Structure 1
Amino acid sequence: MRRSATTLALQAVVVTAIVGGTTAFVSLEKNVTLSVDGQKREVHTFAKTIGDLLERENVSVGARDLVAPRPDEPLSDGSTVVVRYARPLTITIDGQTRKVWVTATNVAEALEQLGVHAERAYISVDRNMPISRSGLRLDIRLPHDVTFLVDGKRVPITTTAATVREALAEAHITLGPKDQTTPVTLDAYPADGAVITVLRIQGKTVTRQEEIPFDVQEIKDSSMFEGEKKVVQEGVEGLKTVTYEFTYVNGQLKSKKKITEKIIREPKPQIVRVGTKENPRSVPGADHLNWRALAECESGGNPDAVNPAGPYYGLYQFDLGTWRSVGGQGKPTDYGWEEQTYRAKLLYKQRGDSPWPVCGKKLYT
């Protein structure tokens, strides 16, 4: 059966429409490469923009994440879309800690992004260690030049040690059990350019005997004139054993600390009788004389002087009989200047200067 020209023409129009529609549909499809944190895959999509592609592929991104090209840019056939998720990095460099965000997937890339040149630095983890999306803590210590002053020498060192103590070990400097450093401690961070002095500290224990001073006890005596004193019991110093700890810093004594003390002998107090009786009145006819000059001549001015030849006692060298003849009690040396002079004046009133044949003339000087 022969088809009419009209039928054939209609069939041609339908075929053309179908082919044209198929061609238009195929032209809307795009073949792109999607890279998420370095993981690539080929995607066939009808998405119009980068953001549309990510939504269709269920790739969620945040404000800190890297998307290239930008999500609002159109998507072209054959494009490569890169997504890098941001990762929190807590990084400590030379003791200074801060939190940053990086889109690197391993430590080496993160250091490059941060501009940290750490070729010779200490890094707490492997440089190739991957960084998960939960982040990572990273400790970096850059090389520092440190100089130690120890035992009279300068010891320079380049170190990435975390503490002065570790740096000393790297420099092969051995510390004693009490040694310290200044101006920073052994546990401080060795800053770049620091000059650190090692203090050699040694302790020495010394035990020695020391005297204990005696106390002086005074007893009031109304039979003695004011100003007169007489020792009735000599004081005796005590004795104790004391142990000290001496601390030397670089050979110089720095401190002394008492550790123990033990008394061997208690001190014995010195007992002194002190006069309270009102001083005697003057002796008319004798007060104007130079009694001090006479005393200097007779005894050198010593109220305790004793000349065994007599014996003679005190400032004016009384013998006991003469002393008692003018009302004196005991011995002249039991009394001070006032009492002895008073009795000497009384003697002068009785006998003039004759009791002092050699020095008597001093009374008139």
Structure 2
Amino acid sequence: MSTSHRSGARRAARRRKANPPVAEGLRRIVPQALVVAFLAGGTTAFVADDKAVRLSVDGVPRTLHTFADDVEELLADEGLAVGPRDIVAPAPGAALADGEEVVVRYGRPVALTLDGRRRQVWTTARTVDGALRQLGVRAEGAYLSVSRSAPISRQGLALDVRTERTVTLLADGRERTVRTNAATVREAVEAAGITLTGQDTTSVPLGSFPRDGQTISVLRITGTQEIREEPVPFAVERTTDARLFAGTELVERQGVPGVRRVTYTLRTVNGVRQRPRRVREETVREPVAQRVRIGTRPLPASVAGADGLNWGALAACESGGRPNAVDPSGTYGGLYQFDPGTWRSLGGSGVAQNAPAAEQTFRAKKLYVQRGASPWPHCGRRLYG
């Protein structure tokens, strides 16, 4: 036997002697006992963390076992996502105990048109009836676009509600009060047993929504049409003329009014005649513009042989000093009562009463130079006063 083998055998013998078989057996038993004790304690803790809870989602309950510490963890474990419009009770941060009941109710959008006014609302109710109660909408006697028992999905629905309202109608001297869920005034009128004929209407538009407590008058209307011919004013076109004295206006062409045919409706409302209303018009004859020439020629300062006379006294006697005076026969006019022929023979245009006072005096002086005071047999002597 080699030296190395003999040394190994001796070492093994010493170990057996130092550790008799009993001690060796204890070394094997103690670790096994520790493992058993650890497993027993772990099992107790495992059993203590397990909870039996009741989870209800949109009214569908089920019982399950969970190790979640709070409601939020439970929902996450179950794959349930909730938003700000959803209801969770207890709140997501609440601790979870054995035997707990957790309720989840999802929000549902509803496009609600209530009595003609549309708005977007949210509800956790699963049926139309539940949503109406939750929103505080009175459904008795109301019109609903869908059944009260209809379900509301997570995607929501559109709901038109017309509640029952009290409307008073005044017609033919009578007052009728009805309860109606009508969508229009016309439907409310028909519900009251009132018949509209011809041009009859109401004090509010027939297509408008009847409000609770509203009073509506029925207007019985009869009407005819009337055609009238009315004048169309003519325009006045003015041009300057250096051949006429300043201040003189000569009508070169007399204006002629046009004619238009106008149609009016004549209405009687509940026996009361209304103001005529213009509904149509057409031009029958176009107006002809009036043309007027306006003088720009300066008047002469004097007329030799007539400047020193009292022309003011003559005018006061002949016309009361009024340049536009006309005698009762309509023949003579102006300050000095010229007849049209004499006026034109002196270079005047039109008639004397339409000319400026200065021009009338100038032409009277010319007449005096030609004929003296004879054209004014009664007042001519005033020239010398």
CA separation of 1:362 and 1:143: change in aligned 2, threshold 3 A: farther
Q: What is the aligned counterpart of 2:159 among 109, 117, 138?
A: 138
Q: Deviations over 1:310-340 (max 9, x none)?
A: xx887345797xx69xx95468975545455
- Alignment partner, residue 191 of structure 2: 170
Q: What is the aligned counterpart of 1:241 among 260, 263, 285?
A: 260
Q: Deviations over 1:21-41 (max 9, x none)?
A: xxxxxxxxxx99998766789
- Alignment partner, residue 160 of structure 1: 181
CA separation of 1:226 and 1:39: change in aligned 2, threshold 3 A: closer
Task: Output aligned runs, 1:319-330, within 5 Å.
Answer: 329=346
The letter of the residue matching 1:125 is: V
- Alignment partner, residue 286 of structure 1: 309
CA separation of 1:240 and 1:334: change in aligned 2, threshold 3 A: closer
The letter of the residue matching 1:241 is: R
CA separation of 1:281 and 1:84: change in aligned 2, threshold 3 A: same
TM-score by length of 2: 0.57
- Alignment partner, residue 118 of structure 1: 139
Q: What is the aligned counterpart of 1:296 among 319, 329, 342?
A: 319
SS at match of 1:128: coil
Q: Note if 1:210 corresponds to 2:230.
A: yes
* Alpha-carbon distance between aligned partners in 2 of 1:46 and 1:306, rounded to the nearest angstrom: 124
Measure how far apart 1:290 and its partner are: 0.7
* Alpha-carbon distance between aligned partners in 1 of 2:111 and 2:159, rounded to the nearest angstrom: 5
Measure how far apart 1:244 and its partner are: 4.0
CA separation of 1:296 and 1:284: change in aligned 2, threshold 3 A: same
* Alpha-carbon distance between aligned partners in 1 of 2:215 and 2:128, rounded to the nearest angstrom: 33
Measure how far apart 1:114 and its partner are: 4.2
SS at match of 1:294: helix
The letter of the residue matching 1:290 is: A
Task: Output aligned runs, 1:257-296, within 5 Å.
Answer: 259-264=280-285, 267=288, 269-272=290-293, 274=295, 276-281=297-302, 283-287=306-310, 289-296=312-319
Q: Note if 1:228 corresponds to 2:248.
A: yes
* Alpha-carbon distance between aligned partners in 2 of 1:277 and 1:317, rounded to the nearest angstrom: 22
Measure how far apart 1:200 and its partner are: 7.4
Measure how far apart 1:97 and its partner are: 2.4
- Alignment partner, residue 100 of structure 1: 122
The letter of the residue matching 2:261 is: V
Measure how far apart 1:245 and its partner are: 5.4
CA separation of 1:268 and 1:142: change in aligned 2, threshold 3 A: closer
Measure how far apart 1:88 and its partner are: 0.9
CA separation of 1:152 and 1:110: change in aligned 2, threshold 3 A: same
The letter of the residue matching 1:170 is: A
Q: Deviations over 1:124-171 (max 9, x none)?
A: 222222334444333333222234566776554332233444434434
- Alignment partner, residue 361 of structure 2: 341
Q: Is the 8 A contact 2:182 2:188 kept in 1?
A: yes
* Alpha-carbon distance between aligned partners in 2 of 1:72 and 1:193, rounded to the nearest angstrom: 54
The letter of the residue matching 1:278 is: L
Q: Is the 8 A contact 1:162 1:189 kept in 2?
A: yes
The letter of the residue matching 2:164 is: P
* Alpha-carbon distance between aligned partners in 1 of 2:340 and 2:110, rounded to the nearest angstrom: 103
Measure how far apart 1:266 and its partner are: 5.0
- Alignment partner, residue 360 of structure 1: 380
The letter of the residue matching 1:296 is: S
SS at match of 1:193: coil
* Alpha-carbon distance between aligned partners in 2 of 1:47 and 1:266, rounded to the nearest angstrom: 100
* Alpha-carbon distance between aligned partners in 1 of 2:339 and 2:286, rounded to the nearest angstrom: 40
Measure how far apart 1:59 and its partner are: 7.1
CA separation of 1:328 and 1:277: change in aligned 2, threshold 3 A: farther
Q: Is the 8 A contact 1:316 1:340 kept in 2?
A: no
Unaligned runs of 5+ in 1: 1-30
Higher helix share: 2
Residues matched between the structures, number: 317
The letter of the residue matching 1:237 is: V
TM-score by length of 1: 0.59
SS at match of 2:275: strand
* Alpha-carbon distance between aligned partners in 1 of 2:118 and 2:333, rounded to the nearest angstrom: 89
Q: Note if 1:74 corresponds to 2:93.
A: no
* Alpha-carbon distance between aligned partners in 2 of 1:276 and 1:193, rounded to the nearest angstrom: 79
